[in-house]
Amino acid sequence: MSISFILQQIINGFSLGSMYALIAIGYTLVYGVLRLINFAHGDIMMVGAFMAFIFFKILGLNFYVAVTLSIIVTAIVGILTYVTAYKPLLDKGAPKISLLITAIGISFFLESLFNVIANQYLGGTYQAFYFPKWFSKIIHIDSITIPVLTLIVPIMTILLLLLVLWILYKTKIGIAIRAIAFDINTVKLMGADANKIIAFVFALGSALAAIGGISYAMAYPSIDPYMGMLVGLKAFAAAVVGGIGSVTGAVIGGFILGFAEVAIPGFFPELGGWKDAFAFIFLIFVLLFKPTGIMGIDFERQRF
């Protein structure tokens, strides 16, 4: 087990963890504002990947234009899920279990919708995901091989984390988001439009999920309507490991779980069949010893 092998596993792990982190940020933003686990979020990631495929492969748009449009469409889908499904329940003061069941229903709806689209209009459930070849270009450093995409994704994730933190702490909309997370009723009494602010949170989280979904589809170049189920659950585990409600914690949790998923089978090949279970095993251990997660937040005193 050489140093180059260890470095290779670290690089691959952080690249995968970055994709989980982008999706986990959406979970933690929505939870921070509404105390809601949006279990449809993994399927929002799937929508982003499918829309990029449709715009690029089916409609023939430039790849970067296709990615931009898919992020915008996915953000709109995120807003629609809030406006049409969650907002009516919140306005009626529905219990949290109703919101949770609704989230699961949205998840099944999106999966079924894109299953129909894939089978009737795209030629099959599973589709190869196409993207410019230069993303697959290999950089050789000694005996370490690094695809360009593997370098881009972690850097992009860090930059997007900084952007989200800037929005939350340096902009008016960010101050409003943190105020709603602290006390939504007081914010409403002060005349702020809480619904628009929450819709923005859903749009922001969905846009990040779209970026994560497209990155995942490029790293594992195929898409299907159910791709968001397991990835979404792992991203949720990452958010909880990092400390649900903490944006930075979500990214840290994503990095940790991505590294564990890649490195443990790399170091112990006989455990390769357990690859998908490592995220949840790690989640259980973290919750046993630190129930609030690595950067757990006391929601009575702090937000994000």
Q: What is the DSSP string of 125-182?
A: S-EEPP--GGGGPEEEETTEEEEHHHHHHHHHHHHHHHHHHHHHHHSHHHHHHHHHHH
Q: Which two tokens stand for residue 276?
A: 């998908």
21 touches 254 (CB < 8 A): yes
Closest C-alpha to 195, from 176, 209, 210: 176
Is pLDDT of 80 > 60? Answer: yes
Question: How many CA atoms are closer than 13 Å to the CA of 196, on its beta-carbon side?
Answer: 9
Q: Which two tokens stand for residue 54?
A: 């449709």
Closest C-alpha to 216, from 205, 237, 203, 230: 230
The pLDDT of 105-130, averaged and rounded, is 93
Is pLDDT of 302 > 70? Answer: no
Q: Tokens 């933690």 belong to which residue? A: 28
- Number of Cβ within 10 Å of residue 51's Cβ equals 23
pLDDT tens-digit series, residues 91-107? 888 888 999 999 999 99
Chain-wide mean pLDDT for the chain?
A: 90
Helix (H, G, I), strand (E, B) or coil at 118: helix
Residue 301's pLDDT is what? 52
pLDDT tens-digit series, residues 246-268? 899 999 999 999 988 888 888 88
